[in-house]
Amino acid sequence: MEILTKALAEIPRAQQDLREFVRARALVRQLGRDRVCDALRSALRPWSGTFEVSAWDSGRGHFSTFGGTPSRPNPYVRRWCVSPSELRDRLQRNAQRVRAKGTGLCLTHARVAATGGSTDEEVIERTALFCDADVRGEPDGLVDALRRAGAAFVLSRKVRDSSFHAVIPYAAPLATIPGPAFKQTYRVRMGVLLGLFSEMGELACEWVGVGSPKLLGFDIATARRLGTLEYAYNKREPNDALPLFEANEGLALDPHAWLEALGWTAEPEPLRARREPAVFYDGPTQPNTWLPALESAGMLLQRRATGGRFCVCPLEHEHTEGPRNPTATFVSSAGVLWCSRGGGHLRGRYREARAAMPSHVQHFFTENQR
């Protein structure tokens, strides 16, 4: 409990989804796993037995999931309506193919628009909860809890380490509503669900500061996008061991009923300071500051084919998606700074990004304030 208390004391109030994740783990410890499992059982519902999954398998990995438009729809999307066993079988067949990292099957457990991409704006409804555990422990505790409750699920697990994916279908799809208010509510509720299942599955729980949210259990990043992607497991080399897959044809989850049965209430939402408009450069009449500042700080990387340079993200400590990706963040030749991690987490946070730069380059910004 000390780890959870320490994490809750250090996580900023603005990160409500992560705070609720931690509070949910603490709630399971307070109530006991048996009582939480009973509440889960009461929140399971009869359902059609199938759910929709959107998949992309062009050999280009997540690059094939790009956002489409009415005039240029994404041609790679495939729409599956599958039972848990059918999804298990598809994943099992896919796993036998040898694919290099970043080139395999991607899927999101959602129905997407006719434009065919995985952007949040294209997600019409979520059909299942996706849980992603990277070396947080074996899935046996979670599987036991789900089977005892009678829940439907699909499980994928690596053999070489204790990483696994769990997909838990919803009794009724969660329809999305355009706008930031719905996304904030969605993220908070998904944080609670991931925290509950992390504790029920007895996943390892560590905390070494605000840059370590993945160590708390299931990856919170899966709660932060409506179109969050599952990178299906497959063999990387011909001699690799095959991942293992399991499915249960049980009842489907009503997440709202589960939270109600547990008496869950969220922390009051913090008062939010008004953010600066989403501008990442000083303007056409100002000298470009990001390129020289990043260069002076030693944060510029290789050149981009379309102009500008890749760089280190000024807010890299917030990244939760794994090791540094040298092409995730860039500054264009026009001075536009962009980071694709966290769904574009620099958007509207220009002042914070400047303030996070090393002190010896701050003069680049103070000399060019608007």
Q: Are 247 and 354 in a shared domain?
A: no
pLDDT in tens, 220-250: 988 888 999 999 999 989 999 999 999 999 9
Instruction: Please check whether residue 33 lies inside any domain of the structure.
Output: yes
In a domain, 136, yes or no: yes
| In-domain check, residue 131 | yes
Map tokens 């889960």 to a residue.
40
Asked whether residue 270 is assigned to any structural domain, the reply reads no
**330 shares its domain with 226:** no
| pLDDT of res. 277 | 40
**pLDDT at position 298:** 86
Quick check: is 273 in a domain? Answer: no
Q: How many domains does the chain have?
A: 2
Distance CA 308, CA 306 (A): 7
- 111 and 250 belong to one structural domain: yes
Q: Residue 97: its pLDDT value, please?
A: 92
Instruction: Tell me what pLDDT residue 173 has.
Output: 94
Give yes or no: residues 246 and 100 share one domain. yes
Same domain, 33 and 117: yes
**Do 237 and 111 share a structural domain?**
yes
User: Where does a domain end: 261, 280, 305?
Assistant: 261
**238 lies in a domain?**
yes
For 334-366, write each residue's pLDDT tens digit: 777 888 876 677 776 777 888 888 888 877 776
Asked if residue 219 belongs to a domain, the reply is yes
**Domain span at 14:** 2-261
Which portions of the chain are predicted below pLDDT 50? 273-287, 368-370
- Both 96 and 201 in a single domain? yes
